[in-house]
Structure 1
């Protein structure tokens, strides 16, 4: 194996074999190098989606870690499925100080079980990278936490591992021994296992400080870099709802938005919950633009996302949010040739203004129908996913609608590939 590639293929052979003793499903992991020789002593971490009684997903780590044997294999038994055999798993594999890689294996509703391929993780040669955190006078740099928001192998050599934004609950705190660091008194820190030529996005966060980000996207061969921190901006406000009893515990989010003068490497989402009176306080914000919205509002309530420019630090900036009863907008998706209703098409609504933030989404059922709960005003609809075997409308279309009342007569068609 040459020094440049240093790649290891981790073949995840995920068999749906029932255990005679426990009824659990077996999985097998085999680590191989580019010469297809087994690699002994590799650590393999497994995270899988679990669904609770309320239908919410969380990605939990299975055990501590698995280690490959002399034949490069790891075998284990664990419950791995939900909803009639569906699953979603993420993998991190490494030989500390030498190799690291990431992978994902999933079976979703639109994918027949006989078409699910064994997962694989391509591991690449890793190295240590060193960074420097700089804080204003009066702040303690040792109170700062530096964490990876996203990591990836060399371009074209596998998938990444998402740790930011909250899209995969549980992964954002996964493996702190690999993906998080606390600077020393001089502000220095080192990550030991970063893929050579891979992408890395970091965030530095600390009490009273705005989140600072670093990305090596434009400089994949970096060796030393700096994260310069400034005092935080704060966004405060209150949420009003038609039913005052529903104001407590709402999730208010502020998502970083691309700025012309201050480009943002990673569109991170800040979150907080409302108190009993609907009040909220978002801290740690940099001075830039945000899209503010309510995440998963109560049934039939909705808001139009707000674009907010946060201009001040230290002095809180105020914004009030009104949740209102939405209108139900329904329709059907059909095959353009057969007129057959299509299941598993996703219709999403976005704002009519930039940055076109998401408002709502709905997946068609067996009858091909979808229903969106939308606020009054103008928005756009588009296909965020299509059933397997069908094409996206080309060029990718967006349909503008004006919502003033509920209606159920929208019709869309899709063409087979």
Structure 2
């Protein structure tokens, strides 16, 4: 392509634009452009897990340093397909994953108190800025903390995601569900349990989550950082906006949460720093199935290879096992495999990676399933 301008073409364009501009009559009023897009794990010996204050976890300093947080930065983390909607993921019955979750949770809209005595000189508080989401329905992603298995360093927990049907304001509903602490999978938990959400407002460059009350539990710093990322991923997944998240308490920004100082607003950490390395996204925990059935999920594993195992809950006997592959190695990419015919009964499905260093089982995610 020549670097020299085409003078004849430029001249023709200038004349055409000039003539067109003369025909335009300015209209009164402002046009508002509204942009709005859209609407789990245990080893064979499953046990509920809860985060408690004063938990001793190895590798604290290393864990904190590992967070590549994008504070004040709205750059993409390169994993929108993980943070957002369920997309084309289906359950073993062939229906969208969101349709097999718990019944729709109707979350009431937050009450909004508009200021009535604000003078022109008064500066709006954080709580008064931004807009509320419209009320919709569908399935929203909610992130939880789950134990990492086979790792002796790091905070000992990572993020796992479930989809939950809802009706109301998507991001407000997602944070409410996260604060309920009631995940469909008993291996997932939330240190935000007990928090009371006031409202969620969006300004385009910032999402503000205002709480009536927040947890006062002190967590080991690495776990606290994971809890903060749990909120960020939940908010960004539900809102489909990877902008920083500001946390306020009754309209005032919080300088500390879970016993650690925080930098406001909260940025999004890179997915491989905080998300679980292996997820089972379908079937859901507790699903009732007929065999054969398909298992699908997301994994970031060595040489793109992971293992799976089906164990009877009655006698702990392994009935079937195999190997599956992800689309790419060392990246969070999809995998799937088919479990052949099984007799009726209750089973535990485990998907995991075998360590290349010493052969131990790591990164296990599991589901309890019923075959009829």
TM-score, normalised on structure 1? Answer: 0.25
Structure with higher RCO (Cα < 8 A, 6+ apart):
2
TM-score, normalised on structure 2? Answer: 0.27
Tell me which protein shows more strand as a share of its residues: 1
